[in-house]
Amino acid sequence: MFFQSVGLLSRERRTQLAAFQRKAGIRFRSLELLNLSFTHRSCGNEDASRSLNNERLEFLGDAVLGLVAASTLYQILGERSEGELARIKSYVVSEEVLSELAKGLELDEYILLGKGEEQSGGRAKKAILADAAEALIGAYYLDSGFDAASRFVRGLIEPEIGKVLQNRHHKDYKTMLQEYAQKFHKSYPMYRLTKRSGPDHDRTFWVSCEVAGAEYGTHSGKNKKEAEQNAAQAAYDAIIEAGGLEAARLLKIDGQ
């Protein structure tokens, strides 16, 4: 079978899934499929009877999300260049945005995790939340068709597109800094991991950033990607404060 039969879902779980649907404003024909979209692979690591997980649905949901995002941007921003549309789409479908959308849907309350992942704070991890959001989209597409999934996705991403257009969005400082360095210094920013601290399940990473021979300090994050973003932001802000205003104009979707 593709997923568990509804008879294997407890009454409590069915009640939880019904509550989620009311909050999200969607309705699944198959509670089993909805439940599968919330099932992280760590469940199967500890319980062979729950070996099915949401990874295949995540793969499908990523494709549906990408198509709906591209179509929406094409329709509402027809005057923008392909490059600008691609940049906005990249932001809208990013892990950062998807994890925040997942929090807004309260997916963290419904995700099924193995004990180890639960204890390591998996319920709050951006990657797990973003993956669950994509899996939910994939499941809804299978359950109710493309039109219903498209309406659901558009309802989620249109406010995020609005944030970009109003310059209220989370900015990808690594990309912005790279574009600045390439244009004005014909080089790339250099990131160096300087320190790790904390236990394996709660690590903090420290990264320094260098641009054109100038080092802009060391900054931390809960993973290397986050630390590099924080280091890039500090470097970018320092360059702007020093008078490198041209950098702020490089990313057109910033509205500069």
Catalytic residue among 62, 131, 143, 160: 62
Residues 245, 256: contact at Cβ < 8 Å?
Answer: no
Supply the DSSP string of 41-106, one letter for each residue.
Answer: THHHHH-GGG---SHHHHHHHHHHHHHHHHHHHHHH-TTS-HHHHHHHHHHHTSHHHHHHHHHHTT
Catalytic residue among 134, 143, 172, 228: 134
Distance CA 86, CA 96 (A): 17
Q: Would you call 134 a catalytic residue per the annotation?
A: yes
Q: Would you call 147 a catalytic residue per the annotation?
A: no
Q: What is the SS3 assignment for 199?
A: coil
Distance CA 204, CA 91 (A): 25
Residues 210, 192: contact at Cβ < 8 Å?
Answer: yes
Distance CA 232, CA 211 (A): 10
- Tokens describing residue 39: 């099932």
Supply the DSSP string of 145-164, one letter for each residue.
Answer: -HHHHHHHHHHHHHHHHHHH
Q: What are the residue numbers of the active site?
A: 62, 134
